[in-house]
Amino acid sequence: MSSIKSQYLALPDNDDEDDPPPLPPYKRYESQGVSHQISFYLSGEIGAPILYTDMLYTLRNARDTDLILLHLNTPGGNFDTGLQIINNIGASDARVITILEARAYSMGAMIFLAGDELIVHDTCQLMFHNYSSALIGKGNEQQAQVLAISKWFEKVMRQVCKPFLSDDEVGRILRGEDIWMDSDEIRRRLAHLQKGEPSVRPRKSRQLPAAEIKK
């Protein structure tokens, strides 16, 4: 509920009681809104989606005056759950702040990047890598599933992790490389993004000296 206050300027004394008091030159009104702050601590491995229904419901039904803090310390986990959390962060009317408090690996790192505001504590880590899975079924079914999941994962990586990660880095992750970074590197990249600059400068191709160029 909002509270409204009205304050008049102090008026000079008027010895003539027959004259009506002069109108004040202005009125002052103050309104104070009530902001609801909710904190979630995502600690440990990310499990099945059903375990996060309360968090997802809160994100989806929050008001634009609400503030949701998502504290992260996780090695990652279930891709489907992480993606659902990311999608609900994007759909939430609340301001969602993701806070890196120790480590966020794999899907945890992607959830961190999905926040409206990102906060990093000292001595923290992010780690990005390719997905892992176990498949069953006939050979042709497994091949189709690998192709479909690979395209899906690449699309999510490019939508969520860029421009924090460069195109080159996303490509290296998709080829199997793990990318690690500490708090200093994370803050450096975030500072560049706030200035509208690339978080990572593209690698320069090596130019051969004229003497090395074969004719």
- According to CATH, the superfamily of the domain at 3-7+23-131+178-198 is 2-enoyl-CoA Hydratase; Chain A, domain 1 (3.90.226.10)
Nearest to 81 by CA among 23, 156, 164: 156
Whether pLDDT at 28 is above 70? no
More confident residue, 11 or 172: 172
What would the pLDDT profile of 92-145 be if each residue is shown by its tens digit?
999 999 999 999 999 999 999 999 999 999 999 999 999 988 878 888 888 898
pLDDT at 94: 96
Give domain limits for the chain: 3-7+23-131+178-198
Q: Which residues lie closer than 8 Å to 201 by C-beta, 6 or more apart?
A: none
At residue 203 the predicted structure's pLDDT band, cuts being 50, 70 and 90, is low
Whether pLDDT at 209 is above 60? no
What would the pLDDT profile of 160-192 be if each residue is shown by its tens digit?
999 999 999 999 999 999 999 999 999 999 999
CA distance 27 to 38: 36
More confident residue, 1 or 186: 186
The pair of structure tokens assigned to 31 is 């309104």
